[in-house]
Homo-oligomer: A and B are copies of this chain.
C-alpha cells in the first residue's frame, strides 16, 4: 500500500498547492484506483481499431465520448454513443463520432475517443465518509435514491472499519432485505460492497485531510460493485489533537481519586448551609475512614478536624482535593494542588463555561495539564464511592453498597439517580457528576470502572462526548467485561438544541451516536427511567447462555403483552420443541395454550408455577425465563414470590443460573412480592409487562455484544 499511499499524497499535494478544497473527477479516480475502489474502466482510443480493442478489454456495453478541448457540449455535437454492444459497433462508433465532430466544428482538435465501461442495472447504493468533531472519521452506507434520503436510512461506523464492521453495515439499514434480493431481483455482491466500505474507511483514516467523500451512486450487482461517481472534499487545516494520558496513567490517577486515602476539602466550612460544610459533614458522617484535611484561610479546626491554610501546608500525601470555593478562587488553589502533587481535583464550583466563562475554564485546564492534576467538573455535585464510604459531594449521603456505577453530565440527572437509587434500594459502587467535563470524562470513568472490583455495571448519562472516538475505543473493550448502559440526551433535533444551549456542547448527529454506541457494545437506554432500571436489574441477572427465551404465564393476557414486548425489544421466543411442549403440558390444564408462551391458565396453585419454572430452568435448551403472574386467592402474591425463590435457590444449588424476570398483575400486594423477588435475584415489576422484558433484553444485548451468546 506504500506506493498507493504516495500516489494519493501526490494528488492531495497538488490540490493543496492549487488551494482547492475538492478533487477533480480524474483525481478522484486516481485516489480510488490507489485504494482498490472500483470505478468504471476507461481509456482513450486514437483509432477505430484501438477503440474496438479497448472496448473488448473493458467489456461490453461501453460508452464512447469525444475527447476534444473545443467540444464542451459533447452530446449536442453527436460526440456521445451509449450502449455500444460489440467490437464492430465500437469501430463504427469511433468513425461516426469523429465524423460528427468534424461536422460540428471543423477546427476542433480531436484527442481521441474515450471508451468507458457502461454502468447501470444492479442496486444503487451510497458509500461515503464524513469527519465528525467528536468521533473523527466515519464511513457511511445507505441505498441510493430519493426515498432513502427521505427516510434517512443510512448507517455509520468508525473508520477504519473492519470487514465485520463493513458487513454489519449492509444489515444495519432498514432496507437491508433489498440487498439480499427481493421479488426475484438479484442479491448484491456483499463481499464487493464490504471491500469498498473498508477501503474508503482506510483511505480517510490514512489521509485525515480528506474531510468528506461520496461514492454516489455505487452500482452493486450479483458480481461486483462499481462507484459511478466520486466526490472528495479536503480540509488541510489540522484538527486539534486531544490530550489523552496513557492507560496506565489514567488507571493510576483514577484509582487514587476514586478510592483515596486522604481527601482535602478546599473551602471547608463550619457554617451550616455552606457547600464546604455539607462536603465535610458528608465525608465524616458517611463513615469515610481515610484522612480528611479541611483547607481554610483562617480556621484552625473545622468539625473537629485540624484545618490548613493551603494543601501545601498539609504534612501527608493527599489523593484528591474537593473544591468548595467560588469560581474566581479556583485557579490559584489549583496551582497549589498541583504543587502538592495531588492527582485529582473535584471542582464543584459553577461559573465556568456553562455561564459563558470559557476563558476561566481554559485557564484551569491549562493548570491541570501543567501539573498533571486530573479535573472532575467544574460545575458538579461531586462523587460517591460507596465501598470507601466516600461521599465527596454536597448532596445527601448514599450508603447502599453494590455493583452499579452511575455518572451524569447534568447535576439534575445526578439528583434523580440518587433519589431513584435510594428509593429502589439499589446497590451502588459509585455515582459521579461530570458537569462541564473540562478533563475527566466518560472514558476515564470507564477505564477506572473496568478494573474496579466493586463495579459490575456502568450506567452513564451524557449530552455529548468530548472525544467520542476515545469513548468508543474504551467502551468496546470494557463492554466485553461489564455491561455499559448509556442515556444519550439530545437525541432529537429539539433535544439537541436544548443540549447546545445548556452546555455549549456541539450536539452530535444522533444516528452517528447510535451506530457507534452499538458498534462499541454499549446498551442504549432510550429514557432516564430505563437507564435507572437497567442499572438496577442488570447486575442481578445472570448472563444468559443463549437466545432461547420462554414466557411462563398464569395470565394469558399478560402472555400476549409480554410477547409484544419480547418482539419489540429484539428478543425472540424459542420455538417450542414437541418433547418440551409435552413436558410442560403435563403440568397444566388441557385447555392451556401449547407452545410459547407456556400458558398455565389462571387459578393455578403454586405447584403449577413451581413445576413449570423448574422445568424451564432445568431444560438446557431454555436460556431465559419471563414470568407472568396473575394474582389469585389460590396463589397469592407473596406465596408466588416465595415459591419462585425456592425454585431458583434449588436450581442454584445445582449450579443452574439463568436470568428470570417477572411481571406481576394483581392488587397492591404484588408490590411487596415484586420487591421480595428482586431482592432474591428475580427482577420483578408490578403493573407493567414492558419493564421486565426491557431489562432482560438489555442483558441479552450485552451478552450478544460481548460475544457471550
Contact = CB atoms under 8 A, between A and B. Distances in A.
B573 A494 contact: yes
Number of identical protomers: 2
Contact of A564 (B356, B492, B562, B686): B492
A201 interface: no
Given A147-B178, A667-B415, A593 B501 contact: yes
Contacts of A503: 556
Contacts of A666: 415-416, 418-419
Interface string A394-428: 01100000000000111111011011101100000
A490 to B, nearest CB: 5
Contacts of A529: 687-688, 690-691
A557 B595 CA distance: 46
Interface string A116-148: 000000000000000000000000000101111
Nearest to A557: B410
A489 B597 CA distance: 14
Interface in A209-244: none
Nearest to A416: B665
Nearest to A176: B150
Contacts of A408: 557
A563 B498 contact: yes
Interface string A516-534: 0000000000011100100
Interface of A: 143, 145-151, 174-175, 177-178, 182-183, 185, 273, 350, 354-356, 395-396, 408-413, 415-416, 418-420, 422-423, 461, 463, 487, 489-495, 497-499, 501-503, 527-529, 532, 551, 553-568, 572-573, 589, 591, 593-595, 597, 599, 602, 628, 630-631, 633, 665-671, 686-691
27 contacts: A146-B182, A146-B183, A147-B148, A150-B175, A150-B177, A356-B591, A411-B630, A412-B556, A412-B557, A412-B558, A412-B602, A413-B665, A415-B630, A415-B665, A415-B667, A416-B687, A419-B668, A489-B560, A492-B567, A495-B560, A495-B563, A495-B564, A498-B556, A498-B593, A498-B597, A527-B561, A528-B561
Given A151-B174, A413-B561, 19 more contacts: A146-B185, A149-B182, A150-B174, A151-B151, A354-B556, A410-B555, A410-B560, A411-B555, A412-B558, A415-B631, A416-B666, A418-B666, A487-B561, A490-B564, A495-B566, A501-B599, A502-B556, A527-B561, A527-B688
